[in-house]
Amino acid sequence: MKRIPLEAILALLLGLALGLGYAWIVSPVNVVDAVPSALRADFKDQYRAVIAASYAANSDLPRAEARLALLGNSDSYQALSGQAQRALASGDALQSYQLAQLASALQGLTPTVISSTPTSSAAQVPSPAAETSIPPILPSTSTPFDDSILFPEYTATPRATRTPLPPPAPPFELLEQETVCDETLAEGLLQVVTITSNNRVQIPGVELILSWAGGEEHFFTGFKPELGNGYADAILSANVIYSLRVASGGTVLTGLAAPTCTRTSGETYLGSLKITFYRP
């Protein structure tokens, strides 16, 4: 068996070192004008967040759809919904709402809630020009007044125009409320579903407020897409009376409490409530 000459091994190692040094240091590869679909996953999330913020400002859905198409996602709605859930879990409620609002628009739905208040444009007062010193009137022996002197003209600055906002969506109304005794569910589970009235499409990103004596909890639909895009849940404690409402307005449910159910073994346990809201 022939041994490889040491000189050949050293030459290969030297050639490899020189090649890596040239490729990494002397002339590294620079990616220029890469398409958005080639971005890393976290950069794609930033790109979607900017698109959603732009849509929240101008409501230009065709332009937002064209920008989302550049990312090459097979389902932009699912990508937006998933990112909205991650944003809310990280504490960024504004970005979560903007992403959910754009996702709803892609499904042909009216934005869930318009929580932003139009900011009034303060009148801009024109800044005074520099004071012009006018010589005092002297006796007839003084130099005649030169009427060719041009005095400064004061031009009022126009007021900023207010960007029109889309009309608010109609408030949600109660469609159905039922007691559920299912031993496979968590005890005291409150299940809420939000849908449209015409085609029964579930609506994600709806903010719900569950309140009781001395406390309040806010939660959103769409965080469990495997159970439905308009699904949300919370846990009810025993012997506590609750009220439930949609943050954007509508029917307020009061006197809610976890029902008492009986297992097949004869033991009692806290059952569940299922409530369905619809938008007219």
Assigned token pair, 132: 């012009």
Return d(Cα 82, Cα 62) in angstroms, integer: 21
Return d(Cα 80, Cα 48) in angstroms, integer: 7
CB atoms within 10 A of CB 191: 18
Return d(Cα 66, Cα 81) in angstroms, integer: 18
pLDDT along the chain (280 residues), means of 10: 78 90 82 77 91 91 91 89 90 90 81 42 40 46 49 58 69 92 92 86 92 93 89 94 92 94 91 92
Return d(Cα 280, Cα 209) in angstroms, integer: 20
Return d(Cα 172, Cα 197) in angstroms, integer: 10
Return d(Cα 205, Cα 207) in angstroms, integer: 6
Assigned token pair, 72: 């090459």
User: Taking the mean position of all CA atoms in its chain, how far away is CA 247?
Assistant: 16
Please, what sign has the CA dihedral across residues 138, 139, 143, 148? Answer: positive
Return d(Cα 104, Cα 279) in angstroms, integer: 14
Return d(Cα 215, Cα 142) in angstroms, integer: 84
Digit-coded pLDDT (tens) for 6-41: 888 888 899 999 888 888 888 887 766 678 888 888
Cβ–Cβ under 8 Å, residues 124 and 159: yes
Q: What pLDDT is stored for residue 23 in this prediction?
A: 85
Cβ–Cβ under 8 Å, residues 99 and 44: no
Return d(Cα 111, Cα 61) in angstroms, integer: 12
Q: What pLDDT is stored for residue 144 in this prediction?
A: 54
Digit-coded pLDDT (tens) for 159-200: 666 666 666 778 899 999 999 999 899 999 999 999 988 767
Q: Are strands 260-262 and 252-256 parallel, antiparallel or unpaired?
A: unpaired
User: Taking the mean position of all CA atoms in its chain, how far away is CA 130?
Assistant: 47
Q: What pLDDT is stored for residue 129 in this prediction?
A: 41
SS3 233: strand
CB atoms within 10 A of CB 223: 21
Return d(Cα 151, Cα 247) in angstroms, integer: 58
Q: What pLDDT is stored for residue 97 in this prediction?
A: 92
> Of 104, 34, 39, whose CA–CA distance to 71 is shortest?
39
Element counts in the chain: helices (H) and strands (E): 5, 10
Amino acid at 175: L
The pTM (predicted TM-score) of the whole model is: 0.45
Q: How many CA atoms lie within 13 A of 172 on its CB side?
A: 30
Assigned token pair, 8: 């050949």
Q: What pLDDT is stored for residue 20 in this prediction?
A: 87
